[in-house]
Amino acid sequence: MTNSNFSRRRVLKTGAIASAGLALPTYLRADGHTGFTNAPGDSEVTLGFNVPQTGPYADEGADELRAYELAVEHLNGGGDGGMLSTFSSKVLDGTGILGREVKYVTGDTQTKSDAARASARSMIEKDGAIMITGGSSSGVAVAVQALCQEAGIIFMAGLTHSNDTTGKDRRANGFRHFFNSYMSGAALAPVLAANYGTDRKAYHLTADYNWGYTTEEAVKSSTEALGWETVNAVKTPLTQTDFSSYIAPVLNSGADVLVLNHYGGNMVNSLTNAVQFGLREAQANGQNFEIIVPLYSRLMAKGAGANVKGIFGSTNWHWSLQDEGSKAFVQSFGTKYGFPPSQAAHTTYVQTLLYADAVTRANSFNPCAVVEALEDFEFDGLGNGKTLYRGADHQCFKDVLVVKGKENPENEFDLLEIVEVTPVEQVTYAPDHPQFAGGDLGTCNPGA
C-alpha cells in the first residue's frame, strides 16, 4: 500500500457515484412483515414443480411435468379447462389463483433427497415459490415435505406410495393425494382370495428400501388376515438388474405365490426373470403358481411387455376410467400431448387443482389458512369418485383400483384392465394404525 494517491478529481468522482448509489431507494429488512413466507404480489403467483428429470424415474417425472403445465394452463383460463368443470368445488374460474396469474418454475430432483431439497430451496429462496409439489419417490417426498415444513411452504406430494409419507414422517404443511402401501394391500387381498383361494403360501421379493418395507408389511398383513401363509421374504438391492439368483430358490421353497414388491425398472426386470424361469406355467402344492405386483403403473406395464398379462396389482388411477372427471382429463391431456396420461400425471394435476381451490376457498395464500381449507375437505369429480382429505394425517381417502395385465391389448397404452374398484371404506384405517404409528403432524408453519 505505497501508491494510494487521492487526487481531488478522484475523490469528487467517487463521491458523486456513491451519492448516486445512496439516492436509489434503499431499504434493509429482515423477513417477517408479511406474516408468511413468499407472499405473492398482486399480479402473479409462482408455484414450484420439483420432479425427477434425470435418473431412474425420469419417465414419471416427465409425465408429471406435462400434467403440471396442463394444470397451469387450465387455472389461467387456457385450453378446455379439463377437470375444472367436473370438480365438485366451483370456485376456480380460470382467472388464475385469487386473480393472480399462475407462473411456475421447474427443478430436477434427480430422485435424490439432497438434490431435491437443494432444488426446492432455490425455488423458495430465489424464485419466491409459494407452494412446492412433485417428486416420484417416497424418500424425496419425505425430505422435501420436511423442508417445506421448516420453511413455511405448502407441499403437495406427487407420486409417493410409502406409508411413511403420511405415517411416521407426516407433516402439517404436507398433503398426499396418492394412495399408499396399506391401501394397496387392503384392496388387493380380497381380490386375491377370490381368485386364488385362501390356502396359499406367499414368497416376497422386496426392494431393499423404505417403500419396499412398508409395501411388504402391508401385503403380508392383509393376505395373512385372509388365511395366507408367508413362506419367506427376501430383500433385493435397489440397484439389482438381474433377479435370476433370487427367483431360482422360489420354486423349491414350497410357495405357490410370488409377490414382487418392486417398482419401476426393478419390477420390469424381476417380473421378466420370473416369467423366463417358467413360474407362470409351474404348479406348486397342486395349484397354479401365481405372481402379484402390488403397485402397478402403465409405464411399468409398458416396460414389462407381454409378461404382465393376467398379473394382479393395484393402481391409483387409470385413464380408461369412465367417470366425467377422468374423461375430461384424458381428453385435454390427449389433445395437448397425443397420448393418455399416467397415474403420476393424474395425481399431480389433481394436487395442483386442489391447492388452487383451497387457496381460493380460504381467500388467502397463508399456508395455515390453506391447511385449514384442505383438512377434512370432501370433494368429487377429480377421477377417483368421492374423496376425503383427512385432517388427522393429510392423506386422501378414495376408492382404489385393482388391475390386471390385459390379455389382448388393443394398443400400446391399453395394457391394464380394471378388475375391481375397491370402495373407500375397505381401505380406510385409523390414523394411529400400527403401520402408520409414530408420526406427529405438528402444527402448520406459515414461515417468516
Partner 1 sequence: MLGLEKKDFRLLLIVVALTMLAPFILNPFPEGSDMAQFNAGYPDLMQRFVIFGILAIGFNILFGLTGYLSFGHAAFLGVGSYAAVWMFKLLSMNVIPAILLSVVIAGVFALIIGYVSLRRSGIYFSILTLAFAQMSYALAYSVLTPLTGGETGLQPKPGDPRILDGALAPGETATPGFFGLFDMRDSLELSVGSWVFTFNAGYYFAAVLMIVAFYVSIRIFRSPFGMMLRAIKSNQTRMSYTGLNARPYTLAAFVISGMYAGLAGGLLVSMDPQAGAERMFWTASGEIVLMTILGGAGTLIGPVLGAGFIKYFENIVSKINKTTLEGWFYWLPDGLEDFVITLIYPFVGKGWHLTLGLLFMLVVIFLPGGLVQGGQKIAAAFKRKKPDDAKRSATEPAE
Q: Contact residues for partner 1 (CB under 8 A)?
A: 21, 24-31, 53-54, 58, 104-108, 112-115, 117-119, 121-122, 125-126, 137-139, 142-143, 146-147, 149-151, 162, 164, 169, 208-211, 235, 237-238, 440, 442-445
CB-CB neighbours of 195 under 10 Å: 11
Residue 51 or residue 382: which is nearer to partner 1 going by CB? Answer: 51
Residue 53 or residue 384: which is nearer to partner 1 going by CB? Answer: 53
By C-alpha distance, which of 73, 63, 147, 144 is closest to 103?
Answer: 73
Residue 238 or residue 421: which is nearer to partner 1 going by CB? Answer: 238
- Please provide the DSSP assignment of 170-230 as one string: --TTEEE-S--HHHHHHHHHHHHHHHH-S--EEEEEEESSHHHHHHHHHHHHHHHTTT-EE
Residue 56 or residue 405: which is nearer to partner 1 going by CB? Answer: 56
Residue 62 or residue 388: which is nearer to partner 1 going by CB? Answer: 62
Closest distance between partner 1 and the C-beta of residue 289, in Å? 28
Residue with cell 416396460: 303
Nearest-angstrom CA–CA distance, 392 and 237: 34
Closest distance between partner 1 and the C-beta of residue 262, in Å? 14
Nearest-angstrom CA–CA distance, 395 and 438: 16
How far from the centroid of its chain's Cα atoms is residue 438's Cα?
Answer: 22
Phi/psi of residue 155, nearest 5 degrees: -115, 120
Residue 140 or residue 192: which is nearer to partner 1 going by CB? Answer: 140
Closest distance between partner 1 and the C-beta of residue 104, in Å? 8
Residue 149 or residue 422: which is nearer to partner 1 going by CB? Answer: 149
Nearest-angstrom CA–CA distance, 374 and 391: 8
Residue 143 or residue 321: which is nearer to partner 1 going by CB? Answer: 143
**Which residues neighbour 118 within 8 Å (Cβ) at sequence distance 6 or greater?**
none
Residue 108 or residue 217: which is nearer to partner 1 going by CB? Answer: 108
Closest distance between partner 1 and the C-beta of residue 143, in Å? 5
Closest distance between partner 1 and the C-beta of residue 406, in Å? 32
Closest distance between partner 1 and the C-beta of residue 29, in Å? 5
Nearest-angstrom CA–CA distance, 367 and 371: 6
- Opening angle at CA 309, ends 308 and 315, nearest 5: 60
Closest distance between partner 1 and the C-beta of residue 174, in Å? 13
By C-alpha distance, which of 311, 201, 312, 306 is closest to 250?
Answer: 201
By C-alpha distance, which of 341, 337, 207, 332 is closest to 264?
Answer: 207
Grid cell digits, residue 262: 418392486
Question: With contact defined as beta carbons under 8 Å apart, do 174 and 148 qualify?
Answer: yes
Phi/psi of residue 158, nearest 5 degrees: -95, -125
Closest distance between partner 1 and the C-beta of residue 9, in Å? 25
Closest distance between partner 1 and the C-beta of residue 7, in Å? 23
Residue 103 or residue 386: which is nearer to partner 1 going by CB? Answer: 103
Nearest-angstrom CA–CA distance, 416 and 315: 10
Closest distance between partner 1 and the C-beta of residue 388, in Å? 25
Grid cell digits, residue 441: 403432524
